[in-house]
Amino acid sequence: MAKALVSLTGDKEMKKAFRAFSVKSSDALERAMNISAQTIRTQAIRLISKGARSGVKYTRYLPYRTGIASAQGEPPKSDTGRLVSSIDATIDSDGLGATVGTNLDYGLFLEVGTSKMRARPWLTPAFELTRPSNIKRFQNVIATASKKAARR
């Protein structure tokens, strides 16, 4: 099964350094990872659910509905809500990594395109849009932990 995923995870040295923090700092890192993953998930849902589309008008049946599709390069437009409801964020068992994505095959096809359809990325833009706030969140946790370690 194809999956469209963004994983937030540190390399081995980074994880080792994170584990060296006190228990409170580890809890703060895990909270930061959870918030960051949920932020990416929320942004991905927003990109699919909101915003104007510049593609072609369409009519669908069962149930009957009309709309304007997304054009290549735009996030996909939600039609049935299936993709949006499938987007999930899970935290690794060690709390130092996370995965955001969908288990729906077509989520990947929309993200990267196919031989018959240009990409309509939704997950990578969500990751990029949230990157500054996510980096800041981790910098704050690390700075706080470093200050506490220096006081010891």
Distance between CA atoms of residues 90 and 100, nearest Å: 7
Q: Which of residues 14 and 81 earns the better pLDDT score?
A: 81
DSSP summary character for residue 104: -
Number of domains within the chain:
1
Q: How far is CA 89 from the centre of its chain?
A: 7
Band of pLDDT at residue 133, cut at 50, 70 and 90: very high
Does residue 120 carry a pLDDT above 90?
yes
Strands (E), the chain: 4-9, 57-60, 65-68, 88-91, 97-102
Does residue 1 carry a pLDDT above 50?
no
Which of 57, 68, 51 has the alpha carbon at shortest distance from 122? Answer: 51
Band of pLDDT at residue 34, cut at 50, 70 and 90: very high
CA distance readout (Å), 99 to 9, 33, 66, 109, 149: 9, 10, 34, 18, 30
Does residue 126 carry a pLDDT above 90?
yes
Does residue 125 carry a pLDDT above 90?
yes
Range of 105's domain? 4-151
Q: Which of residues 8 and 132 earns the better pLDDT score?
A: 132
Does residue 12 carry a pLDDT above 50?
yes
